[in-house]
């Protein structure tokens, strides 16, 4: 199954319907004009034309309905055709996509296909869409909008540093030996940046990953107190955060540390 084949047929019917409706508009205009002038014979011709065009529109609409109803979107999403074509559409637009049915990561979004209800979820936002190319264009547009949004890399880095200092102090109070310039998991810092659960819906882990990506792509290197930062990996795969760098290459970040550079 392929929605593009259906769409091609629908486009043709839409053109035919548009032509008939345009002709219907012209016939109506003639009807109004002849009515005002009292041209009785012309009115009858107008009415005959209008009735014929209305019939044509009904025929086209019936064929349109038949084609739409004949396309089983539930089967389309369940049999894997939609997912395969969605992946291909994303790749054709240079949209990074990773994962397997029904869950995909399209940075910075998490996408889930709900084949039972023929719906898509971009993070928590529901999207009703059975056309893979439209979905891919929507995602690309959202990504471009995010990239155009203002981002204060220096402010974000300072927030990370504050969370790092708080985490270091908190872990030390718990009896854990944590040096002031030790590596700390980025996922742990997220809980310090957004400590309250109800705010994590507005600033979720994907948003955090996107900000980390933009920080890596910026020229900011130091915090306001003069410390530099270093990002690292982690042996715990579940603790890694996937980002894309400014060239579109994927990186996996695990830890961060802040330190004073020696003279």
**pLDDT tens digits, 184-201:** 999 999 999 998 888 888
User: What's the whole-number mean pLDDT along residues 84-99?
Assistant: 96
| pLDDT tier, 176 (very low <50, low <70, confident <90, very high otherwise) | low
- Pairing of the two strands 125-127 and 119-122: antiparallel
Q: Which of 18-22, 100-104, 128-132, 248-252 has the lowest mean pLDDT?
A: 248-252
Checking if the pLDDT of 241 tops 80, the result is yes
Checking if the pLDDT of 177 tops 60, the result is no
Query: What pTM value is reported for the model?
Result: 0.79
User: What's the whole-number mean pLDDT along residues 123-135?
Assistant: 94
User: What's the whole-number mean pLDDT along residues 225-249?
Assistant: 90
State residue 101's pLDDT score.
Answer: 95
| Percent of residues, the chain, with pLDDT higher than 70 | 97
User: What's the whole-number mean pLDDT along residues 90-116?
Assistant: 94
Checking if the pLDDT of 261 tops 90, the result is no
> What does pLDDT average to over the chain?
92
| pLDDT tier, 180 (very low <50, low <70, confident <90, very high otherwise) | low
State residue 174's pLDDT score.
Answer: 63
User: What's the whole-number mean pLDDT along residues 78-89?
Assistant: 96
């Amino acid at each position: 199954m392929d929605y593009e084949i259906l769409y091609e047929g629908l486009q043709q019917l839409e053109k035919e319907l548009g032509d008939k409706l345009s002709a219907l508009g012209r016939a109506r205009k003639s009807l109004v004009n002849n009515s005002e002038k009292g041209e009785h014979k012309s009115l009858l011709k107008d009415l005959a034309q209008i009735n014929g065009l209305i019939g044509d529109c009904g025929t086209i609409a019936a064929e349109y309905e038949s084609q739409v109803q004949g396309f089983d979107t539930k089967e389309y999403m369940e049999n894997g055709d939609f997912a395969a074509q969605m992946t291909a559409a994303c790749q054709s637009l240079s949209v990074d996509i990773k994962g397997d049915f029904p869950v995909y990561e399209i940075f910075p979004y998490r996408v889930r296909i709900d084949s039972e209800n023929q719906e898509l979820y971009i993070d928590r936002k529901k999207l009703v869409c059975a056309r893979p190319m439209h979905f891919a264009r929507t995602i690309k547009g959202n990504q471009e909008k995010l990239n155009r949004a203002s981002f204060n890399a220096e402010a974000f880095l300072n927030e990370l540093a504050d969370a790092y200092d708080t985490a270091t102090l908190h872990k030390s109070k718990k009896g854990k030996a944590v040096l002031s310039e030790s590596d700390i998991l980025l996922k742990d810092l997220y809980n310090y940046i957004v400590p309250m659960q109800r705010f994590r819906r507005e600033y979720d882990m994907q948003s955090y990953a996107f900000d980390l990506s933009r920080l890596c792509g910026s020229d900011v290197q130091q915090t306001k107190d003069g410390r530099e930062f270093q990002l690292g990996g982690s042996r715990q795969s579940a603790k890694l955060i996937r980002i894309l760098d400014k060239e579109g290459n994927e990186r996996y970040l695990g830890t961060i540390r802040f330190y004073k550079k020696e003279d």
